[in-house]
Homo-oligomer: A and B are copies of this chain.
Amino acid sequence: MQKDAAASTGIRYIAPASAEALVAGILGQYGVPEPDVATTAHCLVRADLRGVDTHGITRMPGYLERLDLGLIDPAPQLEPERVAPAVARLDGKNGLGFVVASRAVDEALAIAEESGVGLVGVVNSTHFGMAANYLLQAAERGYASLIFTNASPAMPPWGGRAALIGTSPFGAGFPAGAGGVPFILDMSPAVAARGKIRRALREGRSIPEGWALDENGRPTTDPEAALRGVVMPMGGPKGSGLSMLMDILCGVFTGAAFAGEVGDQYKVFDRPQWVGHFMLAIRPDLFLAREAISARMDAFVDRMKANPLADGFDEVMIAGEPEARLEAQRLREGIPYRAADLLPLVQRYAATGRPLPDGFEGLA
């Protein structure tokens, strides 16, 4: 008994390849083609590597439930169509958002290589997880990008009190210089992401005041009440304006759902989510050679780091740098998971009849 209790409350350090193998083993049971399994596993595990565990593998049961219900198509045929010389449209056909978004970014990069800039508008997608995945996909191949999605109602527009707009991330990336990491800005327009409230609930913690209103429009510190209510936009009209922008560009403009129509993956089970994305890629060597851009990016970072420090800080970091450091550390040391969070996944994996990947022993 004692061993079981320890197993379900303790922390397990799992190697990224093992975590990907666990995800892949599960997804393989759902008819997801092998390359798409790999893409999805990579996106989920990379979120955990970067400390964005609200978008990591422990969120899998939500996706699996929608696969079970036929609300996510495990194997859509994705065929981007060029609608203008520098723009393509991609119908995601209700595929896994990771797969649809990755395919859209590939297409945006290909267009940017030809035209300098490439835009892909995506309809009929689903929750794509951590936006930084797609910013990194572009940055690691040497491109700048803007990655936007819309999302299910979670936040009121400024002045309102009912959930209507999403806490969709604003995503922007730029390739690293020779000496650093890429600039990866992946930020929620909410004071705090809903995923953080879900985690507080799972972990039995209260949330800070100012994060959310309950279902009656009153401030609350109870994560359960907050999840029934709304999270608040950061900076009032600013966060509200950013979220509206995501919904206009990803929904109104592309032809996807908008203004409250995107289905919540945890609440709407009678239809697909109808998420839209807006993926813009830019070749960085349009005005200066790649070497010059790389040297300028290094100079940019150096000047940021040379800034005298404010009280309570050890260092100035660029956007994405804390996550890149955590990723490097976790690539060496493994990803810490709460054993209890792994149990539902290990149980699903058991149906494959194959031995568990390294690190998951004794959890089934």
- Is there contact, CB below 8 Å, between A259 and B303? yes
Determine whether the beta carbon of B157 is less than 8 Å from that of A259.
no
Encoded as 1 (CB less than 8 Å from any B CB) or 0, chain A from 276 to 292 comes to 00001011101110000
Distance A234 CA – B287 CA, assembled complex (angstroms):
31
Task: Give the distance to chain B from A112, nearest Cβ to Cβ, in Å.
Answer: 9
A164 within 8 A of B: yes
A309→B158 CA distance, assembly (Å): 9
Interface contact A159-B310, CB-CB below 8 Å: yes
Q: Do A293 and B253 touch (CB < 8 A)?
A: yes
Q: Which secondary structure dominates chain A's binding surface?
A: mixed
Residues of A146-187 at the interface with B, using a CB-CB cut-off of 8 Å, are 146, 156-162, 164-165, 172, 174, 183, 185, 187
Q: Are A85 and B115 in contact (CB under 8 A)?
A: yes
Taken residue by residue from 230 to 250, chain A's Cβ proximity to chain B (1 for < 8 Å, 0 otherwise) reads as 000011011111101101110
Asked if A296 contacts B217 (CB within 8 A), the reply is no
- Chain B residues whose C-beta falls within 8 Å of the C-beta of A234 in the assembled complex: 234-235, 238
Q: Is the CB of A159 within 8 A of B284?
A: no
Q: Is the CB of A258 within 8 A of B296?
A: yes
Q: When A and B form their complex, which 10 residue pairs have the shortest distance between CB atoms, in order from nearest?
A: A84-B116, A160-B307, A87-B116, A241-B319, A159-B313, A259-B303, A86-B115, A159-B316, A86-B86, A161-B310
24 chain-A/chain-B pairs, Cβ below 8 angstroms: A83-B286, A84-B117, A85-B114, A89-B286, A119-B286, A157-B307, A158-B316, A159-B313, A161-B307, A161-B309, A162-B308, A164-B304, A172-B245, A174-B248, A174-B253, A185-B245, A187-B238, A240-B319, A244-B304, A248-B297, A252-B297, A253-B288, A254-B287, A260-B303
